[in-house]
Amino acid sequence: MTPFANEPLLELRRAEVRERALAALGDLDARLPLRVPISIGGERIDAAPFPSLDPSDPERIVAVAEGATPEHVEVAVARAAAGGAAWAARGAAERAGVLRAAAAILRERRLELAALAVRECAKPWPEADADVCEAIDFLEYYARGAVALEVGPELLQLPGERNRMTYAPRGVVAVIAPWNFPLAIAAGMTVAALATGNAVVLKPAEQAPACAAAVVDALHAAGVPGDALALLPGGDVPGRALAAHPGVHAIAFTGSNAVGLEILAAAARPAPGQRHLKRVVAEMGGKNCILVDADADLDEAVPAIVKSAFGFAGQKCSAASRVLVHEDVADALLERLAGAVETLRVGPADDFATDVPPVIDAESRERVERYVALGAEQGTVAARAEGTAGGYYAAPAVVTDLPPDSPLITEEIFGPVVVVERVASMEEACAAATASGFALTAGLFSRSPATVDAVARALTVGNLYVNREITGAMVGRQPFGGNGLSGTGAKAGGPDYLLQFVDARVVTENTVRHGLVV
Amino acid sequence: MAALATPAPPSEAPADPPDVRAVGRELVRAMPRLSRSPAAVAERRMMATLMERPELRAALFRFVDVRPACRTRADVARHLAELLAEADPEGAARLAGGLASSRAGRLPVALAASAAVRHTATRFIVGEDPAGALREIERLWRRGVATSVDLLGEATVTEAEADAYAARCQEALRTLTAAAATWPARPKLERDAAGAIPRVNLSVKVSALTPLLRPYAPERGIAGARARLREILRAARELGAHVHVDVESLDTRDSVVGLTTSLLSEPEFADGPSAGIVLQAYLVDSPRHLDELLAWNAAQGRTTPLTIRLVKGAYWDHEVVEARRNGWAPPVFTERAECDRNFEALSRRLIDESPRVRAAIASHNVRSIAHAAAYADARGRDVELQILRGLGDDVQDALAATGRRVRCYCPVGDLVAGMAYLVRRLLENTSNDSFLGARAMGEDLDSLLEAP
């Protein structure tokens, strides 16, 4: 196998590439709505249909998916338990071949898949394309990682004993995926489990069934057996039933804190008859801060804050929601940031001229508006971009002068809102940033090596970005995952991630016979 | 993915115009001798050191970069000490008993370093504002060197900043025009085969005229900068000045060129002002880009010809880093010789097109300059040679002394605003393959004048 390299992004700055992307969108639109059945054991099953809408234009139905019930969960887990062994028996190299074949299918269909993310989740083109590339990256990276893992680590060997350590699949893995990286995260969690020999039951986000189905279709087409990978579209009901099922050995979850904590609590208590402890890989929320010291280059900091806070309407786990700025440069930063935010264009995701797309659904829009209204009450709305009508649009906002206990400072908004707070020093900024308990990403703008070191020591975040935007982690380059209340600390796209999906087994043989070492 | 569908430049340049070496030798003879003053010798020694010690070079550039953001002397001293310690932990340890460790010892070093930054900056930046730059600009004119003024500034991220830059451009045009009226006649600089050449020449950056430049949506930047650039063109027409639109990174090229050609196509600008655009020879697709510019120029009926300034390009690192990060083929030539050959091929095409376009060949490489001058001589065509302030002062003086039309690109702005520019220039000046570096290191003339 060639060494891993990230899938090249589309060069969308070239007009001819943009034209090809729009042509693919036209082809997709002609096929809408897509059908997304339940898939168990390779069979496609219809149940209770529900629509998946285009957030840029909710009149457009992107897909009609079949909602799974707890009965479907029963069948899917049973089939996975029975059929998973054959998949595990194939060995890492053969599985890797299948997964890389799936990557090739995604590569072949990349424009169509990006168009689907544009439509189903209102991801703007560059981010939709990055989502496809990240899905391909996860396939290629974990396929290679599982082959390396199968060899097992070296142990000390003394005369008279032979020690071996191997990693066995855990069994059935429940994957509960979010809508904000509808291709990449669904693919990443699923493939990490498959590469290491587990069987997977995937429950995608209710808002993004078609994207997840595209990933599952590619995996099945490439040779992952139907029993080793099931797809259960739907909302909380199948999600809860799946996480609670005693036949599930591990749960990979990305989503909100509330749901993540619920899963962790439930998983801690074995059901009657359950003969294993469930492992939970949870990637949850954040309240991510960008620290700006007095020696920062504001020419760099302002565009990076805008990109981090408002790219994909602030709906990334890694998005910036607080700016902690040194008081010496706070006025200049706030004025320039406010002016920059006022230039942002809110519009449909398929328009290359759009800076900020709609949020995912009406509930999200209302939540954002509630927080902005509260911000106006408790502090000052320093800037608000112009909104637009038609979809679930929430205009970007910069809020400042808030009391430290304001919900805008303590709670995850998951939308295009950023709070600016003044601090007297970076020590104060680090204390304020760590107080929330969230520890996913953070950013620092400073040109002092000592400050960079001090902040890197003081912050407990999983990913700290210095003098750049804080979103856009790349597989193999920026392993991604949070600490504290933000997650269980597994680093997706990193060298340790696959260990979450295996049980280590050590075999020690005594090689002494009749007092002789043989 | 997205392979560059562009013709490769000629892999072998056609035979040199007969007089490249002769013109080159003539220029070198006309150059002032390398100064023996202690300051000049010390500077050459420092350049040599920086070329040999990349980690020290990085530390000094980082210091130059952060210096304007330091508010107090103590702050300057702290940053300098930290950056030097990072670059050279052993050196910092050696100094532990002295300068670097004690605050009292660090301050004088920091003061000296700040002064050095300021002094170096004045070599590249002619004045804090247009009025402050007038003396130097007039001095150059009297010595036979025309200028193009470039207003340095912070990045534009808001509409208010774009308005402020546009107002500075207008003010610069008026200030320079008023002053230029009193300058003595310099026929070589004021007329060529295509007609009169304006005395006042302003270079303008579209990225400073709008916060809306978007690589994926060029129409937004074009709409955002349109009204402001139109007002600048109107002022230039009224004042009889030249406006030159700079081209920056590839991300914004379509916006910048699209805006410029569409505005100049408007009937109100059919008879002026004199205007120009830039062609970057380091871009692999630059030959095709020149085709497009020439086709546009042929199709519109302006009475003053478009000036095309040919440069190698100043964003090479940016283009390569961005391409690598995203998995793209670099849009620039990665071999210096390829880039130099393309530069010469484009020079010949531009000179061939003269006087339908005005060719302005901008380089501080004597070979590139001599090639263009010799080719123009051989074809009996006009050519203007352009030099960056501080990077080719000797070549510039030699061009003026040998009776050639030369223009100096003069950045104007305060030290804080100019720092990003300054850092780029410094990097260029001490990079290993720089012509200036080679000359300072004493490489022999004939090898420097060889065809790339």
Please state whether beta strands A229-231 and A199-203 pair in parallel, antiparallel, or not at all (unpaired).
parallel
Residues of B within 8 A of A17 (CB-CB) are: 2
8 Å CB contact between A287 and A257: no
B3 touches chain A (CB under 8 A): no
Distance (Å, whole) CA B56 – CA B54: 5
Give CA–CA dist B149/A325, Å, rounded: 36
Q: What is the rounded average pLDDT for all residues in chain A?
A: 97
pLDDT digits 0-9 by tens, B31-71: 877 777 777 777 677 767 777 778 888 888 888 888 888 88
Q: How far is A326 from chain B (nearest CA, A)?
A: 13
A88-114 tens-digit pLDDT: 999 999 999 999 999 999 999 999 999
The three-state secondary structure class of A54 is strand
**C-beta of residue A220 within 8 angstroms of C-beta of residue A42:** yes
Query: Which residue is catalytic, options A283, A412, A421, A469?
Result: A283
Say which amino acid occupies B351: I
- A211 labelled catalytic: no
Distance from CA of B348 to the nearest CA of A (A): 28
Which residues in chain B (119-138) have CB-CB distances under 8 A to chain A?
Answer: none
Does the structure show a pLDDT above 80 at B439? no
Helix (H, G, I), strand (E, B) or coil at B19: coil
Runs of H (alpha helix) within A208-289: 209-222, 236-244, 257-267
- The answer to whether the Cβ–Cβ distance between B157 and A336 falls below 8 Å is yes
Tell me how far apart the terminal alpha carbons of chain A are, to the nearest angstrom: 37
Long-range own/partner contacts, residues A47-51 (CB < 8 A, 24 or more apart): A47/A72, A50/A206, A50/A233, A50/A234, A50/A235
CB-CB neighbors (< 8 A) of B157 in chain A = 299, 302-303, 306, 336, 339-340, 343
The reported pLDDT for the residue numbered B418 is 72
Joined tokens for residue A109: 């269909």
Q: Which residue of B has its CA nearest to A126?
A: B216
Q: Is the pLDDT of residue B8 over 60?
A: no
- Residue-range domain boundaries for chain B: 38-121, 127-413
Q: Is A477 on the interface with B (CB under 8 A)?
A: no
Q: How far apart are CA A476 and CA A495, in angstroms?
A: 8
The CATH 3.40.309.10 domain(s) of chain A lie at: 288-466
pLDDT > 70 in chain A, percent: 100
Q: What sign does the CA torsion over A380, A437, A448, A464 have?
A: negative
What's the average model confidence in pLDDT over A160-182?
Answer: 97
Helix (H) or strand (E) segment spanning residue A178? none
- The least confident of A125-134, A271-280, B70-79, B207-216 is B70-79
A283 in catalytic set = yes
Chain A with chain B: Cβ pairs closer than 8 A? 99
Q: Tell me what the mean pLDDT of segment A369-381 comes to.
A: 98
| Averaged pLDDT, B346-353 | 97
From the list A317, A412, A421, A469, the catalytic residue is A317
Interface contact A292, partner B, CB < 8 A: no
pLDDT of residue B118: 74
B62: contact with A, CB 8 A cutoff: yes
Whether the pLDDT of residue B112 is over 90: the answer is: no
Distance CA A70, CA A77 (A): 11
How many residues are listed for chain B in this entry? 452
pLDDT of residue A54: 98
| Short-list B47, B62, B131, B5, CA closest to A14 | B5
The position carrying tokens 């990693």 is: A167
- Residues A216-236 have a mean pLDDT of 97
Kind of pairing, strands B406-412 and B146-151? parallel
CB contact under 8 A, B327 and A450: no
Average pLDDT over residues A70-74: 97
Band of pLDDT at residue B434, cut at 50, 70 and 90: low
Task: Between B424 and A482, name the one with better pLDDT.
Answer: A482
DSSP state of A346: B
- List, in order, residues 6 or more apart from B305 with CB less than 8 Å away: B194, B297, B355, B356, B357, B358
Tally of CA atoms within 13 A in the half-sphere of B56 that contains its CB:
13
Mean pLDDT of chain B: 87
User: In the predicted model, what is the mean pLDDT of residues A350-370?
Assistant: 98
Q: Bigger pLDDT: A298 or B67?
A: A298
b/e A330-361 (16+ beta carbons within 10 angstroms → b): beebbbbbbbbbbbbbbbbbbbbbbbbbbbbb
Residue B6 pLDDT > 60: no
Q: Binning pLDDT at 50, 70 and 90, where does residue B7 land? A: very low
**What ipTM did this prediction achieve?**
0.93
pLDDT at B153: 86
Q: Is the pTM of this model over 0.90?
A: yes
- Taking the C-alpha atoms of residue A505 and residue A203, their distance in angstroms, rounded to an integer, is 30
pLDDT exceeds cutoff 80 at A344:
yes
Whether A106 and A139 have beta carbons less than 8 Å apart is answered as: yes
Q: Which CATH class is domain A15-284+487-505?
A: alpha beta
Cβ-proximal residues to B38 (8 Å cutoff; 6+ apart), any chain: none
Domain B127-413's class? alpha beta
Contacts of A343 in chain B (CB under 8 A): 157-159, 211-212
A interface mutation test: which of B158, B249, B421 has the most A CBs within 10 A? B158
pLDDT (0 to 100) of residue B435: 57
Per-residue pLDDT tens over the stretch B227-248: 999 999 999 999 999 999 999 9
- What pLDDT is recorded for position B91? 63
Q: Cβ separation of B155 and A303 shorter than 8 Å?
A: yes
> DSSP assignment of A375-409, as one string?
HHHHSEEEEE----SSSS----EEEES--TT-HHH
| pLDDT score of B416 | 61
For chain B, give the percent of residues with pLDDT over 70: 85
Cβ neighbour number for residue B11 with a 10 Å cutoff:
7
Which residue type sits at A482? G
Coil, strand or helix at A34: strand
B223 near A CB under 8 A: no
Question: If DSSP codes are grouped into helix, strand and coil, which group holds residue B151?
Answer: strand
Q: Is the CB of residue B154 less than 8 Å away from at least one CB of chain A?
A: yes
CATH 3.40.309.10 matches A288-466: yes
Residue with tokens 């009937």: B267
Integer Cα distance of B273 and B170 in angstroms: 14
Sign of the dihedral through C-alpha A102, A107, A111, A117? positive
Q: How far is B82 from chain A (nearest CA, A)?
A: 6
3-state secondary structure of A419: strand
Quick check: A299 and B157 CB within 8 A? yes
Candidates B71, B157, B219, B319: best to mutate against A (most CBs of A within 10 A) is: B157
Predicted local confidence at residue B429, as pLDDT? 64
Q: Which of A10, A299, A338 sits opposite B155 (nearest CB)?
A: A299
Give the pLDDT confidence score for residue B49 in this predicted structure: 73
